[in-house]
Amino acid sequence: MSHTIRSDPFCYRRIHSHFSSSSSSSSSGIVLRFRNRLNGLTLRGCFDSNHSSAAAAEADNKAGALAPQRVRYLDIGFAGEGCTDSRLVNGRGSNQRGNPLGFTHNPLPEKFVVAVDVDEVLGNFVSALNRFIADRYSMNHSVSEYHVYEFFKIWNCSRDEADNRVHEFFKTPYFKTGIHPLPGAQMALHKLSRFCSLSVVTSRQNIIKDHTIEWLEKYYPGLFQEIHFGNHFALDGASKPKSEICRSLGAKVLIDDNPRYAIECAEVGIRVLLFDYENSYPWSKMQSADQHPLVTKVHNWEEVEQQLGSWVVS
């Protein structure tokens, strides 16, 4: 039976590395697989770890030459004990060792680092969740009822029951296919990517990492350098504060709809664009957040683009 140990369960970068180990196997074989979801190309190369390092390097170079460079995944499976699983995607469209593709070896100007939330900023999570709750539990809610982003207070149930309902939602088509991009987000992020280094910092749980990655690839392909998961409100596993993740990224700005995260990050010196889409998010209207000097309220992606542009040139 195989088991996996993750060195950093919170972060993905744009080259995906997966290490799995087997406690019962004495084999030392290594399998490399490159996969591109855009054109279905699959390349598999196998070699034994007893081979020379030169042979391994040659196999790696051939794989790198054949694999598509825009969206590329590297899955590495180790058979043997003591291995770790690290899922990392290296950003800026580069391979593991090279420079960003399409650029010379000259140093690139440092970009403005921006962290971006997912739910209610990139996609309409609560609307999809409300449809599930209505059909599954015969409880009708609208976004306008969510004066706080704590579902148990809206649904009049225990915190544990609310967490269980959300995890049930994760298994349904309401979640898997029912969340769509917010208007203007895709176009604005494409423009911002010219002068900003964009990374996702979400409170989403580890259990939905894979689907989140797929959703971001579908609707926001190639835009994000790294994807970090806070694992908040999870049934198991440790969580990580957004402020800690943002500081590790060197983020200058966080775009988020939750005032609690806004204040948390502002208190450590990170500017926050508090996203209240078309003034329709009741939970975003916390007075203490609005009054913080590092928190700026925005109501759509055009305002996000304008505000970031003004900060970059100032």
Helix (H) or strand (E) holding 254: strand 253-256
CA dist 277 and 120 (Å) reads: 8
One DSSP character per residue, 16-58 reads -----EESS----EEEEEEE-TTT--EEEEEEETTS-HHHHHH
Do residues 21 and 1 make contact, with C-beta atoms less than 8 angstroms apart?
Answer: no
Looking at the DSSP bridge assignments, the partners of residue 253 are: 114, 271
DSSP 147: S
141, amino acid identity: H
Give me the DSSP letters along 255-268.
EES-HHHHHHHHTT
DSSP 178-196: T--BPTTHHHHHHHHTTTE
What's the token pair of residue 149? 């982003």
Q: Which residues are catalytic?
A: 117, 119
d(CA 171, CA 179): 13
